Amino acid sequence: MTGEQKSEFLTEFNERIEHLPRSVDRAAVKRMQVVAYVLDEGIRVPGMDYRIGIDPLLGILPGAGDVLSGGVSLYIVVEAARLGVSYTTLLRMIANVSLDVAVGTIPVVGDVFDIVWKANKRNFELVLEDLTTDHDRSSRSSGERTTIEIE
């Protein structure tokens, strides 16, 4: 992949990941970045300076495609909860995925919406914002943070 073809998504967010507090699981953040990239930015549209992912392509399958991509999108939400992002951020992320799935089920309009909305990219942005602006994560009360134990 040449420098021109490389997604700004990867470049911009790689720089932001470097500024995360040391206590944040960078491997989990990178996994979330890969999922968001594949779903929303993985394919450069030939002849245009625009990228799409497999989310709008899955949306071509009536109903099932949007539900499938919504299920994969929830991985980012679960990983964010595991990292301890705030309940408010998690609710915003769930709203983004819900809107993406709901509108995505509408024929044609939903496919165009999937191309433009990019819920996963938005959610990854929300996670980075939450993790980087809260430098002193221990200062919040337990009610303001999520703590999900996944075995």
Domain boundary assignment for the chain:
3-132
The pLDDT assigned to 143 comes to 43
Looking at the predicted structure, is the pLDDT value of residue 137 above 60? Answer: no
pLDDT tier at 14, thresholds 50, 70, 90? confident
Percentage of the chain with pLDDT > 70? 83
Which alpha helices (DSSP H) does the chain contain, by range? 8-18, 26-40, 54-58, 64-83, 87-104, 109-117, 119-133
pTM of the predicted structure, to 2 decimals = 0.81
The pLDDT assigned to 140 comes to 46
The pLDDT assigned to 3 comes to 45
Q: What is the pLDDT of residues 28-55, one digit of tens each?
A: 999 999 999 999 999 999 999 899 999 9
Tokens of 105: 């089920």
Looking at the predicted structure, is the pLDDT value of residue 10 above 80? Answer: no
For residue 103, the number of C-alpha atoms closer than 13 Å in the C-beta half-sphere is: 19
Looking at the predicted structure, is the pLDDT value of residue 102 above 70? Answer: yes
Looking at the predicted structure, is the pLDDT value of residue 98 above 90? Answer: yes
CA gap 84, 46 in Å, rounded: 39
Cβ proximity of 130 and 81 under 8 Å: no
| Contact residues for 105 (Cβ-Cβ < 8 A; gap 6+) | 62, 63, 66
